[in-house]
Structure 1
Amino acid sequence: MAGSQPTPADTAREAVVEAALGTLDLDAKARLLAGQDMWTLPALPEIGLKSLVMSDGPIGVRGVRWTADDPSVALPSPTALAATWDPELARRAGVLLAQEARRKGVHVLLAPTVNLHRSPLGGRHFECYSEDPYLTGAIGSGYVTGVQSGGVGTTVKHFVANDAETDRFTVNNLVSERALRELYLAPFEAIVENARPWGVMTAYNRVNGTTMTEHHHLVNEVLRGEWGFDGFNVSDWMAARDTVGAINGGLDVTMPGPRTVYGAALAQAVRDGEVAEATVDAAVRRVLRLAARAGILDGAEPVVAEPPAPVDGEALAREIARRSFVLVRNENAALPLKPNGTVALIGAAARDARVLGGGSATVFPARIVSPLDGLTAALPEGTLTYAVGADPATELAVADRGFTLKAVCRNADGTVIGTRSAPGGLIQWMGSDLPDGVTYDVLHTVELTGTFTPRESGPHTFGIKGMGAFTLTVDGTTYYDDVQRPDKDDPFEAFFGAPVPRAQVELTAGEPVDVSLTYVVRLPDDIPMKVITFALAHSAPQRDPDELIAEAVEAARNADTAVVMVATTDRVESEGFDRTDLRLPGRQDDLVRAVAAANRNTVVVVNSGSPVELPWREDVAAVLLGWFPGQEGGAALADVLTGAHEPGGRLPTTWGSLADAPVTQVTPTDGELPYTEGVFIGYRAWEKAGRTPAYPFGHGLGYTDWTYESLETDGSTARIRLRNTGARPGREVVQVYVSPAEPDPERPARLLAGFASAEAAPGESVEVTVALPRRAFEIWDEKAKAWAFVKGSYEIAAGRSIEDRRLSAPINV
């Protein structure tokens, strides 16, 4: 594959880039390739280059400040976006994110994440799209196209095989070349071909012995050479380890700064003859090209001079959420809810919604519509009741509801040198993001101080998240004054580690008390970036679980329908660690069983970013998978439950029990993690193992019925005619699978070749055409080191999931 032909505008930008590059000396070039702080590259005024700003995604644009004081639109999780099976909707999401990036002065979004769901235990899977490389590439292409249509760059990540979190900084993933090509590289290849991303982020891990920030073969020979990628390559944060290895391996930018393996170290490596200056020039050229495209290099016309028309973020977030919900069970038409029926809404997650996953994907929306909010607004007054039932949170959470806090900064003699509001109990100041008037050289302590007004009486637990010296005081009493140390060697432990309980205080509902958490700032000289991160944590009194479940059962018994919200927590699904099981936390399974026994019309809504086990699924009337639905999730849920809109989602990954899952190994042995399953992950592995999951890849129900009437194929396209045989309008995702007529143990029994959406009114017939890519008939030949087209007989099947194939036709290719 080669890159597309340059346009006249591309040629003009390249001329400006070359002229700018020619005026820079070695030190300036080396400096440009190193982050100057957490999120930016240095400006070079001598060539008219402004500072390039990067920011985390993928569901929103946080900007350079990690605080609720600077809110962002929060879209549904990437698994939710993939569940829409709609690249055009992903494109629209990207346009909105470009709008958000421009609003926050961001030039490059650190997204999308297109690693695969190799094992259901992957802790960060909510941030990835799917187990299938084709679906991942299609959704990712739409996303990248949308963001870049707004004049904002993307960095497709994490290149490559960053498919789990355990020992992610050091693990050596042993992956066959065939598995790399057919699975893990495939989404990146598709996005490079279809969307021309401006950037790629290389991962922490090693692949077959070489760390990805130094992987000459995969970066220079495959990504740039074979695929024609012309964008910049940035390291994952703190991933770059060696100056010479990184620059010769194709890494352009090391982040964050100011201490990196580039800058002065890179200039010296050139002077010492270890690195050719032409290699540095190539990296600088790519960074300047990015700047030119984004419009921050004088004399270069940006790719997008006029941004797209404004997008309503709240409306789009709501649309994506309802289109992503996957109805996997609906016995006796339990959904949509019957008009004017009574509803018992049950579950802590219905009141305190979890709308996004933990880690660097976190943003802070200006508002969150919980399921309780959404259903209260949508249902007639007096028809909705609420009970907690069971709380999935078994650990402390960052202080939020009921807290009014501010951050007070002091120098060594206790003088206040600056203050900043703190909407929640989390402080994360990175680089220059300090309160006005505060500098690192004089900052000695940061105190989170204010009041807490409890909404329940009883023993409240307070704790601390972070590493270092802390003093915790509640209602005038000091409960902790000591040093909190990490329990594992992880540079991000302060970000992703669990809060530690340090005080239990008896409080009365409605009566405010003073709270204070003081952190003594200690920033070693050798750290690559200056970061202050800690949090005040809290949990409300824990009532007897059996008592809570009994209350929920009583509420369910007195309602026409019981809607139970079950959820994971940020201690189950987050960046920084993998899962050890697929169970719902706390007593939630017990809650569902008890409610289902009391009300046969029980609907369960699952609030998780990736698969969990649902051992009661055959005992309830309906199961709706709601993912992490973004800030408008509660309103979207009300749309779907009431029938104002049908659930539009289809599973982007297989759901089943951990005992049956074919691929479960995510923990390295002696630093190595062999991908022994080869090309068999996800539905490919389930079929090979002959195991039946709870819900197969592609599965999802709507509120109408469809009949597949005909399938015609010529080997390059498949044309499917289908009819809406239900009583209301609907949307169907038509999936096309290719399988060799003769079973081959070295090849998947079938794989997704394409898909299309069909919309029709009741009784209406519609036809869709799905292209069959050549790659669906190819395998990677490891001996020839090339793609091999496998001639022979195949079955082309169309249907509603990998298991529910309605029509098929043979072809010879």
Structure 2
Amino acid sequence: MSSSTPQHGSARERAEKLVGAMTLEQKIAQLHGAMETIDIYALSAQLAESGADMDQLAAQVQVERHVAAIDELGIPRFRITNGPVGVGMGDGTPSPPATSLPMTIGVAAGFDPELAHTYGDIIGSETATLGQHVLEGPGVCLHRTTIAGRNFEYFSEDPYLTGVMGVAVTRAIQAHDVIAMGKHYVVNDQEYERFRASVEVDEHVLRELYLLPFEMLVKDAGLAAIMSAYNRIRGVYATEYRHTLTDILRTEWGFEGYVQSDFWSCRSAAPSLNAGMDHEMPDAKWLNETNVKAALQDTSLEIETVNRALVRRYTQMFRFGQFDRPYAPGEIDARGHGAAARTIGSQIAVLLKNDGGVLPLDPHVGSIVIIGQPAFVDQACLGGGGSSKVIPLYTVPPLDGLRDVLRDLGSAATVTKVTVGEDLSNLDAARSAARQADVVVLMAGLVATEGTDQSDATMPHDQNRMLDELLGVNPTTVVVLKDSNPVLMPWLDKAPAVLEAWNQGAEDGHVVADLLFGVVNPSGKVPTSYPASADDTLYAGRPERYPGTDEGDGYPVIRYSEGLEVGYRWFQAQGIEPLFGFGFGLSYTTFDLSAVAVDAPDAGHAPLTVTATVTNTGAVRGAEVVQVYLGVPVSGQPPKRLVGFRKVWVEPGEHQQITITVDPATTNHPFAVWDYGTRGFVTRPGEYTVYVGTSADDTPHTATLTVQ
């Protein structure tokens, strides 16, 4: 730290003193990243024309994720890394390797804030070890559609589950004196035309769904930074929308951090800074000397606004001691973090089907064959295409993982592999191998990527036909899905067992083997509903909902006209049965939920308490997730909203008593709705229904409350 850097006072006071000592040119140099400006729109078009993907675009910027230092003022090189699914694309040459973790959608399937904290702890630790200051994550946009390209780095279709898990990850990251950055603010729920599209959304829908996880990050986790989105909101770019950046974020929520643009989402100088954006990344396309000085000259921008932007960022840097910490990157604990990733991965997989108790498999069989396409059987399924892609420290492919676990179990079983070509040209060889083996493990899936949405929820490269033709060849066959998003399963009736493992990351091979052979009992729950058909989605036959229509302004307008009916709320409101509903997940054991009681001494105005007993009625240790939903008696509200959950591990034959508290005063406003008159959340009088069960569609225990 330079002797000229303020060393006394609060973080904000030190930031104000520092800005007061800067020249105008120094201030402008600190408003933006240090990358040489490129034409991102032309580059994106070139990549699309050449058939390249976002990974190649990300490679263009992986070494330029920083703000240049000002040594004479003691301002360090400000190093920024992506990382909602592990530390990726950080500031370095090349971008440093890190632990490749499971995708965030899988973390949400864990329904366990402690597990999410462990996840964030790994990310925060590795960010700090690599000498980075900012971790661009967590991402807390919602899964409005099941085909959005970045769902893998967001949590869920439900705002409360998303918020709870996001808060846990944020706290863990910032415990390492790393700035966590919630993203993408806001309604960046699709990748289609993300640089151009405008989202039209009613205010109560914005507040009760899409803003809610961000509000929880700000109020419950002390979030230090927000990343503004690419898209327009109501015709105004998110980086220029004062309603969200200032009125809501700062005036209403009290946010004291800073707002960074997503890479090239900044579209102006004065309008962006005036609206509440504070920092442009990765370059100075807009916040350069020419533009800023011209705006100051014509008074469309005031110097106090420039100062404000810098004070906000420096306050967070002082808060986490980043001016005082020398750049001294160390070595990541690859073995320890890998073991933690294996534990996380084993607790987020969802057992979707298990007819006849096919799973867990007997490890002491003669022969096992794994069959699938290259991305799922030849290598660990890392997932996460685009800027969040992690360069792994190591990987465990499926074949190696199965052999390791079988050896540890004392099994002499042989394991072989058949890699099916993406054109299915060797399907006969796969069928022959399946017929000859004692056990068949079919691996299939989907790896999504930033920058593009899927055309539909069908697995690519004709994998559905592959599964359809191989299922039934051998009675002891299980399907392991490795997905970034829920997928359609037209072959489901032919599959005895289906395990959703998600894109697992480096420990893929070990995690899947642990689950298949019962070393670990799967305990994940569906975080985003699986539709039975593409016709069952909220946007089927409704292009104005997605992908949007040109209403005369030259860009797509996406209308969230479904209102609050998103995810399980949509299925329940429309009376449509999903293939696998929100909160659903099987186990290798069975549970009984009993003695459910609801205590609400002052319903809607004081904490409500739900107590229950979870009994393991099976033969192995396992975990169940007790879920509490609320039916709100207000027109336009969906049948249920998640307001509480608790995951509990129980030994066979034993029981655990659990308590879930639902406090009306908490940040997620469990009883409240947005009121246009008072411009705030209010609890309406009426008859509320409390639903208690183990999924959104399985809530046999109910209680009715009268809110005065």
State the TM-score, normalized to the length of structure 1.
Answer: 0.76
Q: Which residue of 2 aligns with 1:711?
A: 596
CA–CA distance in structure 2, aligned partners of residues 310 and 368 of structure 1: 11
Does residue 615 (structure 1) correspond to residue 493 (structure 2)? The answer is: no
Q: Which residue of 1 aligns with 2:369?
A: 344
Partner of residue 397 from structure 2, selected from 358, 370, 375 = 370
Does residue 772 (structure 1) correspond to residue 662 (structure 2)? The answer is: yes
RMSD of aligned Cα (Å): 2.3
CA–CA distance in structure 2, aligned partners of residues 332 and 263 of structure 1: 69
Contact conserved, 2:399 with 2:417, CA < 8 A, in 1?
no
Partner of residue 24 from structure 1, selected from 22, 41, 45 = 22
Contact conserved, 1:662 with 1:689, CA < 8 A, in 2?
no
Contact conserved, 1:57 with 1:109, CA < 8 A, in 2?
yes
**Cα distance, 1:49 vs structure 2:** 1.5
CA–CA distance in structure 2, aligned partners of residues 128 and 41 of structure 1: 27
CA–CA distance in structure 1, aligned partners of residues 574 and 303 of structure 2: 53
Q: Structure 2 vs 1, CA of residues 751 and 72 (structure 1 numbering), >3 Å: closer, same or farther?
A: same
CA–CA distance in structure 1, aligned partners of residues 684 and 334 of structure 2: 47
**Cα distance, 1:151 vs structure 2:** 0.8
Q: Deviations over 1:705-756 (max 9, x none)?
A: 110111122232211212111111111111111114x6x5511100101111
CA–CA distance in structure 2, aligned partners of residues 308 and 366 of structure 1: 9
Contact conserved, 1:600 with 1:620, CA < 8 A, in 2?
no
Q: Which residue of 1 aligns with 2:621?
A: 729
CA–CA distance in structure 1, aligned partners of residues 93 and 585 of structure 2: 37
CA–CA distance in structure 1, aligned partners of residues 363 and 506 of structure 2: 26
Residues 277-288 of structure 1 mapped to structure 2, 5 A cutoff: 277-288=303-314
Residues 206-225 of structure 1 mapped to structure 2, 5 A cutoff: 206-225=232-251
Partner of residue 77 from structure 1, selected from 92, 103, 126 = 103
Mean CA deviation greater in 254-263 or 578-587: 254-263
Partner of residue 808 from structure 1, selected from 686, 702, 705 = 702
Q: Structure 2 vs 1, CA of residues 389 and 55 (structure 1 numbering), >3 Å: closer, same or farther?
A: closer
Q: Which residue of 1 aligns with 2:538?
A: 662
Q: Which residue of 1 aligns with 2:53?
A: none
Contact conserved, 1:233 with 1:252, CA < 8 A, in 2?
yes
SS in 1 for 2:587: coil
Q: Which residue of 2 aligns with 1:186?
A: 212
SS in 1 for 2:443: strand
What stretches of structure 1 of length at least 5 have no aligned partner?
Answer: 1-8, 393-541
**Cα distance, 1:274 vs structure 2:** 1.6
Contact conserved, 1:99 with 1:310, CA < 8 A, in 2?
no
Structure holding more strand per residue? 1
CA–CA distance in structure 2, aligned partners of residues 739 and 272 of structure 1: 54
**Cα distance, 1:262 vs structure 2:** 4.0
CA–CA distance in structure 1, aligned partners of residues 24 and 403 of structure 2: 63
Contact conserved, 1:35 with 1:260, CA < 8 A, in 2?
no
SS in 1 for 2:393: coil
Q: Structure 2 vs 1, CA of residues 680 and 121 (structure 1 numbering), >3 Å: closer, same or farther?
A: same
Contact conserved, 2:616 with 2:650, CA < 8 A, in 1?
yes
Q: Deviations over 1:480-520 (max 9, x none)?
A: xxxxxxxxxxxxxxxxxxxxxxxxxxxxxxxxxxxxxxxxx
Mean CA deviation greater in 581-590 or 361-370: 581-590
SS in 2 for 1:280: helix
Q: What amino acid is aligned across from residue 590 of structure 1 in structure 2?
A: R
Q: Structure 2 vs 1, CA of residues 67 and 362 (structure 1 numbering), >3 Å: closer, same or farther?
A: farther
Contact conserved, 1:710 with 1:807, CA < 8 A, in 2?
no
Q: Which residue of 1 aligns with 2:57?
A: none
Q: Which residue of 2 aligns with 1:495?
A: none
**Cα distance, 1:311 vs structure 2:** 8.7
Q: What amino acid is aligned across from residue 579 of structure 2 in structure 1?
A: A
Q: Structure 2 vs 1, CA of residues 641 and 179 (structure 1 numbering), >3 Å: closer, same or farther?
A: same
**Cα distance, 1:294 vs structure 2:** 3.2
Q: Structure 2 vs 1, CA of residues 583 and 48 (structure 1 numbering), >3 Å: closer, same or farther?
A: same
SS in 2 for 1:388: strand
Q: Which residue of 1 aligns with 2:581?
A: 696
Does residue 552 (structure 1) correspond to residue 430 (structure 2)? The answer is: yes
Does residue 233 (structure 1) correspond to residue 259 (structure 2)? The answer is: yes
CA–CA distance in structure 1, aligned partners of residues 290 and 344 of structure 2: 46
SS in 2 for 1:324: coil
CA–CA distance in structure 2, aligned partners of residues 89 and 739 of structure 1: 28
Contact conserved, 2:691 with 2:701, CA < 8 A, in 1?
yes
**Cα distance, 1:345 vs structure 2:** 1.3
Partner of residue 527 from structure 2, selected from 648, 652, 659 = 652
Q: Which residue of 2 aligns with 1:161?
A: 187
Poorly superposed stretches of 4+, deviation over 6 Å: 66-69, 307-311
CA–CA distance in structure 2, aligned partners of residues 127 and 72 of structure 1: 17
Q: Which residue of 2 aligns with 1:763?
A: 653
Contact conserved, 1:758 with 1:767, CA < 8 A, in 2?
no
Q: What amino acid is aligned across from residue 420 of structure 2 in structure 1?
A: A
CA–CA distance in structure 1, aligned partners of residues 65 and 649 of structure 2: 43
Q: What amino acid is aligned across from residue 201 of structure 1 in structure 2?
A: M
SS in 2 for 1:180: helix
SS in 1 for 2:535: coil
Q: Deviations over 1:90-148 (max 9, x none)?
A: 11111211221122221000111111100112122111110000000011001100000
CA–CA distance in structure 1, aligned partners of residues 9 and 202 of structure 2: 39
Q: What amino acid is aligned across from residue 336 of structure 2 in structure 1?
A: D
Q: Which residue of 2 aligns with 1:133?
A: 159
Q: Which residue of 1 aligns with 2:276?
A: 250
SS in 2 for 1:776: coil
Q: Deviations over 1:423-443 (max 9, x none)?
A: xxxxxxxxxxxxxxxxxxxxx
CA–CA distance in structure 1, aligned partners of residues 310 and 597 of structure 2: 51
Q: What amino acid is aligned across from residue 413 of structure 2 in structure 1?
A: T
Contact conserved, 1:121 with 1:666, CA < 8 A, in 2?
no
Does residue 14 (structure 1) correspond to residue 41 (structure 2)? The answer is: no
Q: Structure 2 vs 1, CA of residues 712 and 59 (structure 1 numbering), >3 Å: closer, same or farther?
A: same
Q: Which residue of 2 aligns with 1:390?
A: 420
Partner of residue 561 from structure 1, selected from 439, 453, 475 = 439
Contact conserved, 1:122 with 1:666, CA < 8 A, in 2?
no
Q: Which residue of 2 aligns with 1:110?
A: 136
SS in 2 for 1:793: strand
**Cα distance, 1:575 vs structure 2:** 0.7
Q: Structure 2 vs 1, CA of residues 69 and 140 (structure 1 numbering), >3 Å: closer, same or farther?
A: closer
**Cα distance, 1:308 vs structure 2:** 13
**Cα distance, 1:280 vs structure 2:** 1.4
Residues 369-768 of structure 1 mapped to structure 2, 5 A cutoff: 369-379=396-406, 383-388=413-418, 390-392=420-422, 545-546=424-425, 548-569=426-447, 573-656=448-531, 657-664=533-540, 665-670=545-550, 671=555, 672-715=557-600, 716-740=608-632, 746-768=636-658
Contact conserved, 1:34 with 1:254, CA < 8 A, in 2?
yes
Q: Structure 2 vs 1, CA of residues 263 and 94 (structure 1 numbering), >3 Å: closer, same or farther?
A: farther
**Cα distance, 1:272 vs structure 2:** 2.6
Q: Structure 2 vs 1, CA of residues 617 and 215 (structure 1 numbering), >3 Å: closer, same or farther?
A: same
Q: What amino acid is aligned across from residue 53 of structure 1 in structure 2?
A: R
Structure holding more helix per residue? 2
CA–CA distance in structure 1, aligned partners of residues 418 and 663 of structure 2: 50
Alignment length, in residue pairs?
Answer: 643
CA–CA distance in structure 2, aligned partners of residues 259 and 220 of structure 1: 23
**Cα distance, 1:65 vs structure 2:** 5.6
Does residue 795 (structure 1) correspond to residue 689 (structure 2)? The answer is: yes
Does residue 275 (structure 1) correspond to residue 301 (structure 2)? The answer is: yes
Contact conserved, 2:88 with 2:95, CA < 8 A, in 1?
no
Contact conserved, 1:101 with 1:109, CA < 8 A, in 2?
yes
SS in 2 for 1:797: strand
CA–CA distance in structure 2, aligned partners of residues 650 and 354 of structure 1: 20
Contact conserved, 1:663 with 1:685, CA < 8 A, in 2?
no
CA–CA distance in structure 2, aligned partners of residues 146 and 763 of structure 1: 35
